[in-house]
Amino acid sequence: MSEPTLNEPMLNVTNLTAGYGPVSVLRGIDFYVNKGEVVVILGANGAGKTTTLRALSGMIDTGGSVTFEGEELVGQAPPNIVRKGIAHIPQGRGTFPELSVHDNLEVGAYTRKDNEVDADIEKWYEVYPVLKNRRNQLAGSLSGGEQQMLAVARALMGRPRLLLLDEPSLGLAPFLVQDLFERFGRLNTEDGTTLLVVEQNAQLALGIAHRGYVLEAGQIAIKGTADELMHDDAIRRAYLGV
Amino acid sequence: MATKYILAGTQQHRIWKYATWGLFIVVVMLVAFAYVDTGTIDIGDNSYNLSMIRIAKAVSFGVAILGLQCVVGFTGQVALGQSFFVGTGAYITAWLVADHQWPYLLTLVVVVPACFLIGMLLGLPALRIKGLYLALVTLGMAAVFPSIVKLDAISDQTGGSGGKSTAESKLVSPEWATSIFDGIAGVLQAVPLVGQYFGDGDLSEREADRMWKFVLFIIVAAICFWIVNNLVKSRPGRAMRAIRDNETGAAVSGVDLAMTKTLAFGVASALGGVAGTIYVMEVGIASPDDFTQLLAINLIVGLVVGGVGTLSGAVVGGLVVVLIPDWAASTESVAGVPERWLQGPTGSFLLGVMLIFLTFVMPGGIVAGFRKLRARYVQVVPRPPDGSVPAAFAAATAGPATDGEAMLSNESDDELVHTGSDSGSNDE
Amino acid sequence: MDLFIQRVFDGLANGSAYALIAVALVLIFKATTLINFAQGEMAMLGAFVALQLWYWGVPVWIAVILAMLFSAVLAAGIERTLIRPFDPKDHLPLVIITLGLFLAINAFAGIVWRFDPRQFPEMFPGGNALDIGSRGLSWFAVFTIILTVGVILLLQLLLNKTKIGLAFRAVSSNLESSELVGIKVGSTLQFGWALAAAVGTLGACVYVANPLLSLEPSVMLRVLIFAASAAALGGLDSIWGALVGGLAIGFVQSLLVQYIDFIPSEMSLAAAVVVLLIVLLFKPAGLFGTASVERV
């Protein structure tokens, strides 16, 4: 055991295992995310990408070790993990369909005790004016793109230091996806939010990422900087379609 | 004691299977002969009245719970309103016997098809209403039954709120049966030490009549169990279990959902009707407040406590539902328990607590608990389709069975019909 | 005509009690898609507690409020020990648990208080608010309706304007996402159970405070069916729907049964079940419920 140093990664995952009942999905993976980084996890369907994020958030039984800013997360319940500063936008956005847009944003700030919540909501209304127009509408009535905006805004209402994104591009029109990833990039460069993105759209994801991992059958197959991965022949063939 | 292993499909296995049920019936008959003659048993300061009415009620409720097994246990439809059909059967029997002088057993000719049809009809909404909603509607149905039979318009047939009595037509034991009963009683009384529990001398007329009724109930119930046992193993039975385990999966595999579900409801209701007939044969009256939603819930207690999805669970359930309130009512003093607690509906309280408790510690009911216990001593090893002797069996019977035991204990869990696999139909 | 108006109000007064129990059912259904079959019995137990406190000399309204608190604590305990250990998506064990509670609570009340009907103290001034000819409009009916509407308004405020209310609505809408925004789902559901039990207890008290009715352990057996029909009619996840449904069922019960000869009075229960059946068959979302309630 080394003493925690300034260079200790924000999120450090060692020998992570997870599964559903008797089915094990992750078979001991190691990776880390430094503060201020954008890290992407690539992989085919069923490789265990979503499971990785669910394990980090404490939503499934997990083995191994996950430390976030030096604190152990394995064995903690999701609400406690959220309170430490990790937000997770699950696949399918995870908005609250029966709540209004405004309530969705407010519930995103559930763990906050400061009095800047209203100001933050206004800020997001400026970023996404369409949400402001629909503030009293039920979230379930929004379009896919609007829901994704709402999901992002809601997750960031909690002022997380680490944002977990599960296939944000899924089910969105290409021009929306482009826009969304630009937004993620700015979140990182301008606001300093650390991102861990799980994506099938490797090209887009690597475009904003610093580093990446490729997950195959529950194990890390390849890792490297975004640049290296972008130019790795195996990845280009398997995930970039070129 | 070392675990004994039996290979499925062998003579030994068949003997083993039937021996359990055979033993059960012998015990029941012994108890019956003891009951019919001996008034009370004293334990501590409490005397327990061993009237055969209770056992006969247990048979009736056992058959009703058997119906619930079909619709809840095997088909997975949460229908709670079995008391509705028990009541329907009871009233039809009472009406035919009292007003039209039919012999009791003959009324089954009307009760069974009538309840089957009503059950199918009332099962139709279940094709659309599912899960909790179905539970709600069926419980509502059960609640409504008493007010239906109290309707003025049909009070001539149902006897209104006083109930329909059949006291005038008695079920009399034929002479040949009486003499057989006397013979058996005589033999039992001659047994040293335990003979005293079977009373002395010939059975009185009343006792013989009771015995005769009881034998009839056992035969009717046995036929019901035999039919359901075969149904479960037949094609429609497999369709039912397929629906329970995965409705969509069953539908895409070609199971006719509508047909199978309504069939399950029909069979369940017909069995409820038979239970009602037995009830009236024993009690001699069908009264509206015997068939409320409390009976419906009690039958669910029996289903769960006995074991959902097992036939023997219905037997155990019937006994539990009848005997626990009865014993509780007969218990007048227990050290450390305030008397007030023993005078009220203590039995219902115990049933409720038991239901909750078992859901936690023994979700498969008493039958599953018993099987787990039995599996420590005797295990049935399934035989592969090619008929060869499985290696695990050979290993287990040959040497110290440490490895084999671990493997085999997994197999025995399959005996809970819950899994729906073929080894699960070990229940006859 | 006088009789008609009186009947309307009597029906609405009964309907108010149904509405309160229905609201209790809806609260738990919203949060967990579970129907608490023991809701009526829990409410009955609460009413007995209020009565017992009153016997001991506590003023009736304080007794009722204390009984509501008692029920809330009891329900929170039940949720924690008997409900939470089970998978919320697997309904059968939960139905069985609530049925077990139903039996146990009903019998418990029978053991402690026996089955003799007992007069519940008057919660509202006696007499008539308004005399119309030979008939009167009782204060009881007027106050019951006002109280019910008031309680439901308060409940709406609680759910829509407070943080715990927001959490409750979030959990009702999306369990997984609720955890992901840091809501402690377990304690939120516990809050729902407690709230439901308190409202239900008030409903039972109001119901048996009717001078024409009395309190005994089986008093809620029928009321639960009326309340369930009311909740289904309103749409099982709508609180306002429960109010409208409850009033409608009470109204139908008192009018239809009185004026249509071929429906004898015992059949009001059957009428409620038929309403339940028709709603679930043809409009499972009820009058005000969200259509997605039809998840199975």
Q: How much is the ipTM here? A: 0.87
Place of tokens 């009033």: C247
Pick the CATH number of A11-85+160-240 from 3.30.56.10, 3.40.1160.10, 3.50.50.60, 3.40.50.300: 3.40.50.300
Q: Which residue from A minimizes the CA distance to C177?
A: A94
Which of A94, A103, A154 lies closest to C166 in CB terms?
A: A103
**Residue B337 at interface with chain C, using a CB cutoff of 8 Å:** no
Encoding tokens for residue B268?
A: 């369940």
C110 against B370, higher pLDDT: C110
pLDDT digits (tens, 9 = 90+) for B253-283: 888 888 899 999 999 999 999 999 999 998 8
> What is the pLDDT at residue B199?
65
Longest CA–CA separation in chain C, Å? 63
For B94-122, what is the mean pLDDT? 91
CA atoms within 13 A on the CB side of C170: 31
Which chain A residues have any C-beta within 8 angstroms of a chain C C-beta? 57, 59, 77-79, 82-83, 87-88, 90, 94-99, 103, 106-108, 110-111, 140, 154, 158
| Domains along chain C with CATH numbers | 2-114+134-293 (1.10.3470)
Buried-state track B166-181, b at ≥16 Cβ within 10 A, e below 16: beeeebebeeebbebb
- Any chains having at least 3 CB pairs less than 8 A from chain C are A, B
> What is the pLDDT at residue B49?
63
How far is the C-alpha of B260 from the C-alpha of B269, rounded, in Å? 14
Q: Do A82 and C182 touch (CB under 8 A)?
A: yes
pLDDT digits (tens, 9 = 90+) for A41-55: 988 888 888 899 999
B369 against B136, higher pLDDT: B136
> What is the pLDDT at residue B95?
93
If contacts are CB pairs under 8 Å, which of residues 159-178 in chain B contact chain C? none
For A137-141, what is the mean pLDDT? 90
pLDDT digits (tens, 9 = 90+) for B406-417: 444 333 333 333
| Domains along chain B with CATH numbers | 11-372 (1.10.3470)
Q: pLDDT above 70 covers what percent of chain B?
A: 80
Q: What is the least distance, in Å, from the CA of C248 to any CA of chain B? A: 18
Encoding tokens for residue B246?
A: 């995965």
The secondary structure of B365-417 as a DSSP string is HHHHHHHHHHHTTEEEEPPPTT-PPPHHHHHHHHS--HHHHHHHHHHHHTTSG
pLDDT at residue A78 greater than cutoff 60: yes
> What is the pLDDT at residue A34?
92
Q: Which residues pair with C135 in a beta bridge?
A: C132
> What is the pLDDT at residue C137?
76
- Which chain B residues are Cβ-neighbours of C266 within 8 angstroms? 147, 150-151
> What is the pLDDT at residue C296?
32
Closest CA to A235 of A216, A208, A209: A216
How far is the C-alpha of C8 from the C-alpha of C255, rounded, in Å? 7
How far is the C-alpha of C48 from the C-alpha of A208, rounded, in Å? 66
Which of C163, C169, C182 lies closest to A158 in CB terms?
A: C182
Q: Which residue from C minimizes the CA distance to B143?
A: C222
- Which chain C residues are Cβ-neighbours of A79 within 8 angstroms? 179, 182-185
Spell out the alpha helix ranges (H) of A73-116.
Answer: 78-83, 101-108
pLDDT at residue C133 greater than cutoff 70: no
Q: Residue A222 phi/psi, 5° resolution?
A: -140, 145
| pTM (2 d.p.) | 0.84
Which range (A20-24, C12-16, C169-173) has the least confidence? A20-24
- Which chain C residues are Cβ-neighbours of B308 within 8 angstroms? 92
Q: Do C272 and B140 touch (CB under 8 A)?
A: yes
- Which chain B residues are Cβ-neighbours of C296 within 8 angstroms? 130-131
Q: Do C93 and B292 touch (CB under 8 A)?
A: no
End-to-end CA distance of chain C: 46
How far is the C-alpha of C251 from the C-alpha of C152, rounded, in Å? 19
Interchain touch B–C (≥3 Cβ pairs closer than 8 Å):
yes
Q: Fill in the amino acid letter for B15.
A: I
DSSP for residue A3: P
What is the side-by-side order of every strand in the sheet holding A11-20?
A23-33, A11-20, A62-68, A71-72
Interface test with B, best of C103, C220, C273, C295 (most B CBs within 10 A): C103
Buried-state track B132-161, b at ≥16 Cβ within 10 A, e below 16: bbbbbbbbbbbbbbbbbbbbeeeeebbbbe
The secondary structure of chain C as a DSSP string is -HHHHHHHHHHHHHHHHHHHHHHHHHHHHHHHS---TTHHHHHHHHHHHHHHHHHTT--HHHHHHHHHHHHHHHHHHHIIIIITTS-TT-HHHHHHHHHHHHHHHHHHHHHHH-SS-BPPPPSS--SEEEEETTEEEEHHHHHHHHHHHHHHHHHHHHHHHSHHHHHHHHHHH-HHHHHHTT--HHHHHHHHHHHHHHHHHHHHHHHHTSTT--B-TTHHHHHHHHHHHHHHHH-TT-HHHHHHHHHHHHHHHHHHHHH-TTS-GGGHHHHHHHHHHHHHHH-TTTTTS-GGG---
At CA B42, angle to CA B38 and CA B47, rounded to 5? Answer: 90
> Kind and range of the H or E element at B41?
strand B40-43
Q: Do C96 and B297 touch (CB under 8 A)?
A: no
pLDDT at residue C1 greater than cutoff 70: no
pLDDT digits (tens, 9 = 90+) for C36-58: 999 999 999 999 999 999 999 99
Closest CA to C35 of A139, B140, B282: B140
pLDDT digits (tens, 9 = 90+) for C17-33: 999 999 999 999 988 88
Per-domain residue ranges for chain A? Answer: 11-85+160-240, 94-159
For C2-13, what is the mean pLDDT? 78
Cβ(B419)–Cβ(B427) below 8 Å: no
Q: Rounded to whole angstroms, what are the CA distances from A131 to A100, A124, B208, C173, C204?
A: 10, 8, 84, 19, 44
* Residue B411: burial class (beta carbons within 10 Å; 0-12, 13-18, 19+): middle
